[in-house]
């Protein structure tokens, strides 16, 4: 039996599933793990879930490598927090579109303190690189927490 936590990770890995669709499916089926046991026809009955996405969800076993994802996260030193975990930050849970899964290297920030994330191009210019570093340095000097999404480029 797949846990709700693992189900969140799997659903997060399926293109086209964000928080709104996740919540619609959980409301319909009762839990994240129940979604992964539903047929494409059952999933397709939910408003906002097309037949293509329903098929992707119902055939997740063929396309999603949960063990590989968990292994990769462990090898890279990332801890995963799902929206189902009690440790998931309440400040993020209150967002209109919170991430289903957080991949965290290091520690979660103290969300009571001021936080900033600098986001920009994946193909960053020399100027963009200097500016991102300057903004991040200034934020740290001002005692802000700088949060990264661990993506390529300015992030």
Average pLDDT over residues 116-140: 81
| Kind and range of the H or E run holding 104 | strand 101-105
Pairing of strands 145-146, 101-105: unpaired
pLDDT per residue over 48-103, tens digit each? 999 999 999 999 999 999 999 999 999 999 999 999 999 999 988 998 999 999 99
- Give the CA angle between residues 135, 138, 141 to the nearest 5°: 150
Taking a C-beta distance cutoff of 8 angstroms, is the pair 105, 77 a contact? yes
pLDDT given for residue 50 in this prediction:
92
pLDDT given for residue 20 in this prediction:
95
31-45, 48-62, 70-84, 133-147: least confident range: 133-147
- Least Cα distance to 9 among 55, 71, 53, 52 occurs for 71
| Kind and range of the H or E run holding 129 | helix 126-141
Examine the pLDDT at 24 and tell me if it is beyond 60.
yes
Taking a C-beta distance cutoff of 8 angstroms, is the pair 134, 42 a contact? no
pLDDT given for residue 55 in this prediction:
97
> Whole-model pTM above 0.85?
no
Structure token pair of residue 108:
């979660």
pLDDT given for residue 144 in this prediction:
85
- Who wins on pLDDT, 104 or 124? 104
What is the rounded distance in angstroms from the CA atom of residue 44 to the CA atom of residue 41?
Answer: 5
pLDDT given for residue 115 in this prediction:
79
Round the average pLDDT of the chain to a whole number and report it: 89
Examine the pLDDT at 148 and tell me if it is beyond 70.
no
Length of the chain measured in residues:
155
Pairing of strands 101-105, 78-82: antiparallel
Structure token pair of residue 54:
């329903």
pLDDT given for residue 133 in this prediction:
84
Q: What's 44's DSSP letter?
A: H
What is the rounded distance in angstroms from the CA atom of residue 13 to the CA atom of residue 69?
Answer: 9
């Amino acid at each position: 039996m797949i846990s709700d936590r693992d189900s969140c990770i799997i659903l997060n890995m399926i293109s086209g599933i964000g928080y709104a669709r996740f919540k619609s499916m959980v409301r319909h089926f009762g839990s994240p793990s129940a979604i992964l046991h539903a047929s494409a026809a059952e999933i397709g009955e939910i408003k906002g879930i097309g037949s293509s996405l329903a098929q992707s969800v119902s055939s997740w076993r063929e396309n999603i490598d949960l063990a590989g994802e968990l292994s990769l996260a462990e090898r890279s030193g990332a801890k995963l927090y799902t929206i189902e975990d009690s440790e998931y930050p309440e400040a993020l849970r209150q967002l209109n579109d919170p991430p289903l899964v957080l991949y965290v290297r290091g520690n979660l920030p103290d969300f009571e303190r001021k936080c900033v994330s600098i986001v920009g191009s994946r193909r960053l210019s020399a100027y963009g690189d200097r500016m991102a570093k300057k903004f991040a340095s200034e934020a740290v000097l001002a005692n802000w927490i700088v949060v990264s999404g661990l993506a390529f480029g300015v992030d």
